Homo-oligomer: A and B are copies of this chain.
């Protein structure tokens, strides 16, 4: 099983604290050592880092832990290969462009007998079930809407598409277009909303704690989504099976 991490905020925020704990799961505190990746939106632009080395050993992951890239939408993934070989083209998150925006997708789980007809402009580069599912979602979004629809409309379409894919197996995923963060759970996904008054948080995987009050202002809002709670002293809410949630500006909106 892979691990997912997503962040959605109303103010560009760095992910150094959460990523530090998360990256430890890539080969040190957990066994997800078949590559990792992270994507940061900056406005409409995107920084995308993937590596087939274990996150706890990767020089690129070390850079991310030290260099505070500020973003309002982040998706990270640590891979434990179930389908597809260990190779760069199979590392999540995957990126495609649709309607003049980048879309970023990461998946945790395993899909059986999922071979949809990909007749349009989105074809997988690697050979994972995950990238296949992403290409199908992009294809079906493109068919359902002529231009970028509202977040509410996209959520309705994504709910329907997720259900159809989830019949094939475990389909926990994160998706963002830089405007919203969508999260779908089949089996395991948790979220926490951080807002004023901010408090201390202690990482589960590393001997590290941070006082968010020192790094934030009263209006900041940050939503975090992760496979398993990253901190030991915050209240993380578990997703129900089959739930698709959407976060905008650091708040759960649907």
Contact = CB atoms under 8 A, between A and B. Distances in A.
Nearest to A62: B63
Indicate the size class of the contact surface on chain A.
35 or more
A121 B121 contact: yes
Interface in A214-234: none
A45 B123 contact: no
A45 B122 contact: no
Given A97-B96, A121-B120, A126 B60 contact: no
Contact of A123 (B42, B52, B66, B100): B100
Interface in A89-110: 89-91, 95-102
A100 B94 CA distance: 13
Nearest to A120: B121
A88 B125 contact: no
Given A63-B63, A67-B60, A45 B125 contact: yes
Given A120-B121, A121-B142, 8 more contacts: A42-B89, A43-B88, A44-B88, A45-B52, A47-B88, A48-B48, A98-B121, A100-B125
Q: How many subunits of this chain does the assembly comprise?
A: 2
A43 B89 contact: yes
Contacts of A48: 48
A123 B96 contact: no
A67 B62 CA distance: 12
A101 B125 contact: yes
Contacts of A7: none
Contacts of A89: 42-46
Contacts of A63: 59-60, 63
